[in-house]
């Protein structure tokens, strides 16, 4: 029944289309545009569609160039595989970084090419606080007027005493911030954090220390030592 209706519908359409065609004899009235109105519209700012050159800053030009290069790279054959491999590598690097941070290791000091060398003849990576004669080295640093090194020796001696007391687990690649976190709620945590800030300001900030400033810091480290005993 459905096929019959479909056939009848096609026949009706064919009959309608094959009917007679009559010419359109209705009159046509031509209309003219108002030239004055067109000229007035041309003068209005909202109808000005000419493209104006845009002046780009150097940063915008760089971003535009990078976007173009990325689009060109992604259009090449095999680009999706390349992008997938890059994401995998980036994920592995991020995972390794997170693991090192959780272990309290300093990634920058491990991968940097030129570790900072101290006046003890050792690099910051290889020096072992349990093998340094702090009393003798501190005396030599003070006598030579090398107060920055003397402050570093005070701080390393402080780390050794914290390690000997079991409050921290010393490792050469750990950061000072890691030791501060390891102390947790220990009574000496706040003072050690302050000493750490002063040491980093002097040592890593490469700021000079005079005799008076060193003596003040020396007294602060001595007070810290008394709190550990």
CB-based contacts of 208: which residues, under 8 Å, 6+ apart? 147, 148
Buried b (16+ CB within 10 A) or exposed e, 117-135: ebeeeeebeebebeebeee
Instruction: Give yes or no: residues 98 and 133 share one domain.
Output: no
Instruction: Pull the structure tokens for residue 94.
Output: 């991020």
Within-domain flag for 23 = no
Angle, alpha carbons 174-180-182 (nearest 5°): 75
Identify whether 90 is part of a domain. Answer: yes
| Statement to judge: residues 94 and 134 lie in one domain | no
Q: What tokens appear for 125 in the block?
A: 């990576």
Q: Are residues 86 and 133 in the same domain?
A: no
Phi, psi (degrees; rounded to nearest 5) at 23: -75, 145
- In angstroms, the CA 161 to CA 8 distance is 103
Residues 62, 150 share a domain: no
Q: Are residues 154 and 217 in the same domain?
A: yes
Question: And the tokens for 79?
Answer: 């680009």
Is 28 within the bounds of a domain?
no
In a domain, 109, yes or no: no
What does each of the 229 residues of the chain score in pLDDT, given as a tens digit?
554 555 555 555 555 555 555 666 777 777 777 777 777 777 777 766 666 666 777 888 888 888 877 777 666 666 566 666 677 777 777 777 666 555 444 455 444 444 454 555 444 545 688 889 999 999 999 999 999 999 999 999 999 999 999 999 998 888 899 999 999 989 999 999 999 999 999 998 878 889 999 999 999 999 999 988 7
Cα end-to-end distance, the chain, whole Å = 105
* Domain that includes residue 91, residue range: 58-102
By the 8 A CB rule, do 149 and 127 touch? Answer: no
């Amino acid at each position: 029944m459905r096929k019959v209706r479909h056939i009848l519908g096609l026949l009706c359409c064919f009959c309608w289309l094959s009917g007679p065609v009559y010419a359109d004899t209705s009159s046509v009235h031509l209309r003219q545009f108002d030239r004055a109105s067109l000229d007035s519209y041309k003068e209005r700012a909202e109808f000005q569609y000419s493209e104006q050159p845009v002046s780009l800053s150097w940063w915008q030009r760089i971003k535009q160039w990078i976007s173009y290069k990325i689009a060109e790279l992604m259009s090449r054959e095999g680009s999706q595989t390349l992008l997938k491999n890059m994401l995998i590598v980036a994920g592995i690097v991020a995972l390794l970084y997170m693991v090192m941070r959780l272990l309290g290791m300093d990634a920058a000091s491990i991968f940097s090419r030129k570790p900072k060398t101290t006046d003890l003849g050792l690099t910051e990576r290889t020096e072992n606080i349990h093998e340094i004669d702090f009393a003798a080295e501190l005396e030599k640093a003070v006598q030579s007027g090398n107060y920055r090194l003397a402050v570093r020796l005070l701080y390393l001696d402080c780390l050794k005493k914290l390690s000997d007391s079991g409050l921290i687990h010393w490792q050469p690649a750990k950061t000072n911030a890691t030791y501060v976190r390891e102390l947790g709620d220990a009574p000496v945590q706040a003072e050690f954090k302050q000493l750490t800030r002063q040491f980093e300001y002097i040592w890593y900030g490469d700021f000079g220390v005079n005799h008076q400033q060193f003596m003040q810091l020396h007294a602060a480290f001595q007070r810290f030592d008394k709190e550990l005993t």
